[in-house]
Amino acid sequence: MERTQYKQEINMTEALMNRINELISHYPEGKQKSALLPVLHEVQDAHNDWLSIELQDKVAEILAIKPVEVYEVVSFYTMFNRRPVGKYMFEFCQTSPCCLNGVEDLMDYTCNKLGVKVGEPTQDGLFEVRGVECLGACGYAPMMQLGDFYKEHLTKDKVNQLIEDCKNNTIMLHDK
Amino acid sequence: MKVTIDGQSIEVEPGTTILQAARMIGGEVVPPAMCYYSKLKGSGGKCRCCLVEVAKGSEADPRPMPKLMASCVTGCMDGMEVNSKSSPRVQEARKSVTEFLLINHPLDCPVCDQAGECDLQNLSFEHGKSESRFIEEKRTFEPEDIGPNIQLHMNRCILCYRCVMVADQLTDDRVHGVMDRGDHSNISTCISKAVDNEFSGNMIDVCPVGALTDKTFRFKSRVWFSKPYNAHRDCPTCSGKTTVWMFGDEIQRVTGRKDEYHEVDEFICNGCRFDHKDLRDWTIEGPRAFEKDSVINQNKYNRKLQKVEIATEETILKGRETDRKKISMAQIPLTQEDIMNQKSLGNNG
Amino acid sequence: MSQKILLDKVNIPGIKTYEVYRANGGYASVEKALKSLTPDEVVEEVKTSGLRGRGGAGFPAGMKWSFIDKKSGKPRHLVCNADESEPGTFKDRYLMEYIPHLLIEGMITSSYALGANLSYIYIRGEYMWVYKILERAIAEAKAAGWLGKNILGSGYDLDLYVQIGGGAYICGEETALIESLEGKRGNPRIKPPFPAISGLWANPTVVNNVETIAAVPWIINNSGADYAKIGIGRSTGTKLISASGHIKNPGVYEIELGLSVYEFMNSDEYLGGMSSDRPLKAFVPGGSSVPVLPADLIYKTANGEDRLMTYESLSDGGFATGSMLGSGGFIVYNDTACIVRNTWNFSRFYHHESCGQCSPCREGTGWMEKVLHRIENGHGREEDIELLLSIQSKIEGNTICPLGDAAAWPVAAAIRHFRDEFEYHIRFPEKIKNRDHFVAEPFSSVKHLVAKQTV
């Protein structure tokens, strides 16, 4: 439920609309609703990784479906954010095999270093630490997801390096 | 096709579900149903209250089905044999589902407008336990205002999806739905929008619990204090056939006409439901009958209640007297004057 | 060295690209099928191979294909289930990331067998970079004429697309996957009707796991009978195993079914033994939903026979003393691991991933997690163990989809084999305050505290 509304500037660029139309073309005539999940990913990536109600309404309009159908889907799947999030989201996998390899200590370490709790963005909006469920990298534990990519076999040193790289803006988040 | 439920056989058309067949037989073999609603397409299968045991699949394939089946979405086969109430396994499953539905339920029946006509109350009366094994904190949701006519109490919801189907199947513009997932799934508009269209009030009638109640009837009366009458009026939008709930000459509430499975005969419009509470709007057909065991038949407690004798009554009274002496409280209620005196004393001291 | 049929070419430099893949014999099965076999003959080969669904349930793939409704005349679809999310499993990702064209080749050959002209690969949202790899590979295949209209002049048309998910384990259940592919919440459907009759957009649909489809090209290039020669009994062919936990060499391995668990665990070709000198305590052979086994039931079955990596041997003894091959997510625990904590962890996972549609799973998974969390954090009560067993038995078998069973089984198995560890947590809360309580003081050294007293 959206209690606090945050403002978001909507910018449906031509490149984004072209990609959306391409995605819609993957489905038969009249089945454009099927494109909802891929379209939401594209739209979210182009809008600072979150989807305001207005942006969700925009997606509903493009796909010619009811706004509530979009809200239902956005709230069901964990990858869609309904509030502004840290630019660099460190999503640590915290399911059993990663725990066996010390992910909990690593999360504590990262939170301490950034001075935040899990699920709270840093004051400057640059970082956020999250615990998520199995990401399918159990053999390369501990690991996290950062943008579209996995960072595996993590150590404290690697986390330090990642934080530095993020601050220096040398991390690629999305593969477009 | 012949199907046998708890030893009673009946001939049914192909495509009939086990639950429908059981309802044709009637009586004790009918499984409870919290989410299935015959008038809503695609309903059923979710609450798992109506689980039955299929002891024989069909004449052609007599093997029993290994798992209990949701009778509301399982089709009958010729020669099928089903155990409903007669099966201990089924009884156990119904108890389980009842327990699951109640662990996070607020159990606030004393302040719930649905009490007395609540399917969950009936279910727990039949299959529930008197104690809870759930010692954790109950799940709660933030209240959401969905307009002037319908009160949403998400904490009481059992997620039957019926109200979503009503909005989908009776109107063109559904504005509410199921948000989030798992045990945090909730009915919401997401944007606190009023659920407002000519047939939205039917969400109240299909809701098996007190999650959706009539705001115009809110806290007015317990349902068993008002008397239901069948009534009708000329309505341009719906059939106008309703049940009006009267207290004296006052119409407190208007609902659809519900059958013994608490399903409405016909959906009614919001005009009839919310805007016509004047007796002159309606032609009263006569009192509406309810199942024998419904509390609505208790009507105004007009049966004489037996006095409850407590063996130690005298001792209890004596104890109270002693307690009263210990704590220096006035034995007779204080007059307004006494109170004023005490207050002025306190102020001066 | 055992035979490899999925990963045999994975180390060839550049195998991710179409040119290298093709130069190494890629797409031969499409050529063979479209030019010399009828769709039914392809189905027959797969039936003969005995290939079983590699997603976890192990249902024979050829039989699943033969159920597809061809009479209705509706369009048919093949959907590849690449929503790999079972904790402990990461094999499909490996296959798609390192040899994407193998899956695409399998999709074309299999779609031909089913008479599907529009097929999809549904991949989990978190595998975003793999999604891009597949999109590029599909574009390459299309440019080379393996997709589109009139493929190889055979008159057969096929469009293939990748669809990305949004983060929901439940979408690995085939009907939830179809719902998600239709742009909806991932709520599993009530069955029947089965997807083979009414699936994607109410059309006949077959949903197969990535590994299942990737095995089809080899079967067609060689023969079903050749495939059936690999393995033992009804466990034919090879299987990808994802290995993780306290072992020396975690990763993805292709094994011939029938390899002994002992060899897989200890030989240097595979896991290379434990990661440290701490002893083996437990293992989960098929992903988080299958029962955990204690050390004494890992290498030998209850009858004293060697435990093998097959569907049958891993489930030998039923749930009392056996487990399941499942999706092949092989998680190994040494004695620093706490079974209670691990069970709570899995329960949290299922609680988090329940779709919330049916009451037993929605309410029961959360309840189990809360009780386990209490026990693990030193607030357990003696009656909580029985309570857990009771809750899990009330979920099991009473839900719409198998997620309920998957949530119930690990709890039952943990209590079945490690009940004394639960009792220890309840009776000695001060000893388990620290989350790595068994690192300094493994359970074996304190076990006597909860031993049955004889007076």
pLDDT digits (tens, 9 = 90+) for A44-100: 999 999 999 999 999 999 999 999 999 999 999 999 999 999 999 999 999 999 999
Radius of gyration of chain B (CA): 25
Asked if the model's pLDDT at residue A3 lies above 50, the reply is no
Q: Using CB atoms, list chains with 3+ pairs below 8 Å to chain B.
A: A, C
Residues C103 and B222: their CA atoms lie apart, in Å, by 64
Q: Which residue has the tokens 């004489």?
A: B304
Neighbouring-strand partners of residue C231: C236
What pLDDT does residue B106 have? 95
When pLDDT is cut at 50, 70 and 90, the band that residue B324 belongs to is low
Q: Are the CB atoms for C151 and C30 separated by under 8 Å? A: yes
Query: Which chains reach chain C with 3 or more Cβ–Cβ distances below 8 angstroms?
Result: A, B
| DSSP H or E segment with residue A85 | none
Structure confidence at residue B340 (pLDDT): 72
Predicted confidence band at B326 (pLDDT cuts at 50, 70, 90)?
low
Asked if residues C233 and C79 have their Cβ atoms less than 8 Å apart, the reply is no
Mutate to test the interface with C, among B68, B91, B95, B133 (most CBs of C within 10 A): B133
Residues in chain B within 8 Å Cβ distance of C363:
100-101, 103-104, 183
Contacts of C336 (CB under 8 A, 6+ apart): C246, C278, C436, C438, C439, C442
From the list B162, B161, B143, B142, the residue with the least C-alpha distance to B152 is B143
Q: Is the pLDDT of residue B300 over 50?
A: no
Rounded to the nearest angstrom, the minimum Cα separation between C175 and chain B is 14
Size of interface A-B (CB pairs under 8 A): 37
Does the beta carbon of B190 lie under 8 angstroms from any beta carbon of chain A?
A: yes
Cα A116 to Cα A111: distance, rounded to the nearest angstrom:
5
Tell me: the pLDDT tens digits for C200-251?
Answer: 999 999 999 999 999 999 999 999 999 999 999 999 999 999 999 999 999 9
Identify whether the C-beta of residue B138 lies closer than 8 Å to the C-beta of residue B106.
Answer: yes
DSSP-assigned beta bridge partners for residue C364: none
Provide the pairing of β-strand B8-11 with B2-5: antiparallel
Residue B110 in tokens: 């004393």
Contact call for residues B268 and B171 (beta carbons, < 8 A): no
- Tell me the backbone φ, ψ of residue C120, rounded to 5 degrees: -135, 150
Instruction: Work out the angle between the directed axes of helices C100-114 and C128-143 (0-180°, nearest 10).
Output: 60
Closest by CA to B97, choosing from C451, C393, C385, C144, is C393
CA distance C29 to C22: 11
Whether C191 has its CB under 8 Å from any CB of chain A: the answer is: no
Q: Which of C87, C182, C341 sits opposite A134 (nearest CB)?
A: C87
Interface test with A, best of C77, C84, C90 (most A CBs within 10 A): C90
Per-residue pLDDT at B172:
87
Per-residue model confidence (pLDDT) at position B130: 85
Q: Which domains does chain A have, with CATH numbers?
A: 14-76 (1.10.10), 88-167 (3.40.30.10)
CA distance, residue C72 to nearest chain B CA (Å): 19
- What value does the mean pLDDT take over residues C415-440? 95
Looking at the complex, report in whole angstroms how far the Cα of residue B164 sits from the nearest Cα belonging to chain A. 11
SS3 string of chain B? Answer: CEEEECCEEEECCCCCEHHHHHHHHCHHHCCCCCCCCCCCCCCCCCCCCCEEEEEECCCCCCCCCCCCEECCCCECCCCEEEECCCCHHHHHHHHHHHHHHHHCCCCCHHHCCCCCCCHHHHHHHHHCCCCCCCCCCCCCCCCCCCCCCEEECHHHCCCCCHHHHHHHHHCCCCCCEEECCHHHCEEECCCCCCCCCCCCCHHHHHCCCCCEEEHHHCCCCCHHHCEEEEEECCCCCCCCEEEEEEECCEEEEEECCECCCCCECCCCCHHHHHHCCCHHHCEEEEECCCCCCCHHHHCCCCCCCCCCCCCCHHHHHHHHHHHHHHCCCCCCCCCHHHHHHHHHHHHHC
Q: Identify the band that residue B104 occupies on the pLDDT scale cut at 50, 70 and 90.
A: very high
What mean pLDDT is reported for chain C?
96
Mean pLDDT along residues C107-136 = 97
What's the DSSP call for residue C197?
A: T
Inspect the interface and report whether the beta carbons of A2 and B190 lie closer than 8 Å: yes
Instruction: Return the residue in A3, A54, A72 with the most chain B beta carbons within 10 A, the one to mutate for interface testing.
Output: A72
Distance from CA of B177 to the nearest CA of C (A): 11
Of C86, C25, C12, C15, the residue nearest C54 (C-alpha): C86
Q: Does A134 touch chain C (CB under 8 A)?
A: yes
Q: Which of residues 127-156 of B touch C (CB under 8 A)?
A: 133-134, 136, 139
CATH of domain B104-219: 3.30.70.20
Tell the burial category of C143 from Cβ atoms under 10 Å away from its Cβ (0-12, 13-18, 19+).
Answer: exposed
Pairing of strands B80-83, B2-5: parallel
User: Which residues partner with C280 through β-bridges?
Assistant: C334
Query: Residue B348: pLDDT above 90?
Result: no
Respond yes or no on whether the N-terminal peptide bond of residue A142 is cis (omega within 30° of 0): yes
Q: Residues B90, B84: contact at Cβ < 8 Å?
A: yes
Contacts of C251 in chain A (CB under 8 A): 139
Helix (H) or strand (E) holding C170: none
B298 has pLDDT over 70:
no
Which two tokens mark C308? 């093998």
Task: Write out the residues of chain C at the interface with chain B, using a CB-CB cutoff of 8 A.
Answer: 168, 185, 190, 192, 351-360, 362-367, 370-371, 374, 387, 390, 394, 397-400
Comparing A15-24, B85-94, B240-249, the range with the smallest average pLDDT is B240-249
Cα separation, B66 vs C288, in Å, equals: 24
Per-residue pLDDT at C222 = 96
Q: Are C118 and C79 in contact (CB under 8 A)?
A: no
pLDDT of residue B193: 82
Q: What is the pLDDT of residue B71?
A: 97
Phi-psi group of C454: left, alpha or beta (phi > 0 → left; psi -120 to 50 → alpha; rest → beta): beta
Cα B232 to chain centroid, rounded: 24
What is the domain partition of chain C in residue ranges? Answer: 18-229, 232-334, 339-450
Q: Is C172 on the interface with A (CB under 8 A)?
A: no
**Are the CB atoms for C264 and C241 separated by under 8 Å?**
yes
Indicate the pLDDT class of residue B308, thresholds 50, 70 and 90: low
Residue type, B242: T
Q: Looking at chain B, which residue has its C-alpha nearest residue C384?
A: B133
CATH 3.40.50.11540 fits C18-229, yes or no: yes
Segment C424-451 mean pLDDT: 93
Could you tell me which chain B residue has the CA closest to the CA of A57? B191
Residues 13-72 of A with CB under 8 A from B: 53, 66-69, 71-72
Per the DSSP assignment, residues forming a β-bridge with C352 are none
Which of B18, B19, B48 to probe the C interface (max C CBs under 10 A)? B48
User: What confidence tens digit (pLDDT) does each residue in B181-239 have?
Assistant: 999 999 999 888 888 889 999 999 999 999 999 999 999 888 888 889 999 999 999 99
**For residue B214, what pLDDT is reported?**
96
Beta bridge pairs of residue C358: none
DSSP states along C264-298: HHHSTTTT-SBSSSSPEEEEESSSTTSPPEEGGGT
- pLDDT at position B306, please? 53
How many residues are present in chain A?
176
Of C265, C338, C81, the C-alpha closest to C186 is C81
pLDDT band at B292 (very low <50, low <70, confident <90, very high): low
Domain(s) labelled CATH 3.10.20.740 in chain B stretch across 2-99
Q: How confident is the model at residue B289 (pLDDT cuts 50, 70, 90)?
A: confident
What residue in B sits closest to C392 (Cα-Cα)? B96
Handedness of CA C226, C229, C235, C241 (dihedral sign): negative
- Does the pLDDT value for residue A105 go beyond 80? yes
Residues C142-185: pLDDT tens digits?
A: 999 999 999 999 999 999 999 999 999 999 999 999 999 999 99
Distance CA B215, CA B152 (A): 9
Instruction: Give how far B195 is from chain A: nearest CA, Å.
Output: 12
Query: Do B190 and A68 meet the contact criterion of CB atoms below 8 Å apart?
Result: yes
Range C339-450 classified under CATH 3.30.1330.200: no
Position A57 scores a pLDDT of: 96
Whether residue B15 lies within 8 A of chain C, CB to CB, comes out as no
Encoded tokens for C340: 């209670």
The answer for C258, left when phi > 0, alpha when psi is -120 to 50, beta otherwise, is left
pLDDT digits (tens, 9 = 90+) for C341-392: 999 999 999 999 999 999 999 999 999 999 999 999 999 999 999 999 999 9
CATH, domain B2-99, list 3.40.190.10, 3.30.420.40, 3.10.20.740, 3.30.9.10? 3.10.20.740
pLDDT of residue B349: 37
CB C206 within 8 A of CB C175: no
Answering whether pTM is above 0.90, one says yes
What is the reported pLDDT for C451?
85
pLDDT, tens digit (0-9, with 9 covering 90-100), for A139-171: 999 999 999 999 999 999 999 999 999 999 999
Q: In the prediction, which pLDDT does B297 show? A: 63
- Confirm if C270 and C263 have CB atoms less than 8 A apart: yes
Do B178 and A72 make contact, defined as CB atoms within 8 angstroms? yes
pLDDT given for residue B296 in this prediction? 66
Return d(Cα B349, Cα C31) in angstroms, integer. Answer: 105
For residues C345-360, b (16+ Cβ closer than 10 Å) or e, as one string? bbbbbbbbbbbbbbbb
Q: What is the mean pLDDT of residues A132-140?
A: 96
Per-residue pLDDT of C30-67, as tens digits, reads 999 999 999 999 999 999 999 999 998 899 999 999 99
CA torsion C373-C374-C380-C386 (nearest 10°) is -50
Question: Which candidate, A44, B84, B71, places its Cα nearest to that of C167?
Answer: A44
C-chain residue closest to A26, CA distance: C161
State the Cα–Cα distance between residues C244 and C247, nearest whole angstrom: 7
The string of pLDDT tens digits covering residues C290-326 is 999 999 999 999 999 999 999 999 999 999 999 999 9
pLDDT of residue B109: 93
Q: Which residues of A touch C93 (CB under 8 A)?
A: 136-137
Please, where in chain B does CATH 3.30.70.20 lie?
104-219
Cβ contacts of C184 within 8 Å, gap of 6 or more: A33, A36, A69, A72, A73
User: Cβ of C201 and A76 within 8 Å?
Assistant: no
CB contact under 8 Å between C356 and B158, yes or no, is no
CATH placement of domain C232-334:
3.10.20.600
pLDDT band at B303 (very low <50, low <70, confident <90, very high): very low
Q: DSSP string covering C222-262, please?
A: S-HHHHHHSEETTEESEEEEEEEESBSS-EEEEEETT-BHH
CA distances from B144 to A126, B165, C259 (A): 33, 20, 58
Greater confidence, A1 or C101?
C101
C185/A28 touch (CB, cutoff 8 Å), yes or no: no
